[in-house]
Copies of this chain bind each other. A is one copy, B any other.
Amino acid sequence: MAVVEISVAPLGTAQPGVSEFVAGCVEIVARSGLSYQLTPMGTVIEGDLDQIFPVLREMVEHPFGQGAVRVSSLIKIDDRRDEQRHDMAGKIDAVTSKLNADR
């Protein structure tokens, strides 16, 4: 199971706001049926990489259809296969349980 974060931003759009482009990308994830979470800096998706990769490919393409001529994308993959639970909620739980243990 992999947890993947992606952010997509067009360059040279005249306006510094890019949320319209981001929204188009988020809708692609939403339609994919994969579990995802919107963060202030990107979209986090969980699932098998074979399911996620086609979604990533579609997302990095999307802004060109909205008029962008240059698109900068960042994809970070955390793929772990030694335990049953490696998902978005599990990753946060692992950290917050350590925080509580320290106090």
Instruction: Give me the interface of A with B, judged by CB distance under 8 Å.
Output: 3, 5, 7, 9-20, 22-23, 26-27, 30, 37-42, 44, 46, 49, 53, 56-57, 60-61, 64, 69-82, 87-89, 91-92, 94-99, 102
Contacts and interface: CB of A to CB of B under 8 A. Distances in A.
Contact of A49 (B20, B57, B76): B57
Nearest to A72: B78
Contacts of A17: 12, 94
Nearest to A6: B75
A90 B65 CA distance: 25
Say how many copies of this protein the assembly contains.
4
B23 A98 contact: yes
Given A40-B46, A49-B57, 12 more contacts: A5-B40, A11-B16, A12-B16, A19-B98, A38-B95, A39-B92, A40-B89, A53-B57, A69-B80, A72-B72, A73-B76, A74-B76
CB-CB nearest 7 A-B residue pairs = A12-B16, A23-B98, A19-B94, A69-B82, A16-B70, A40-B88, A70-B80
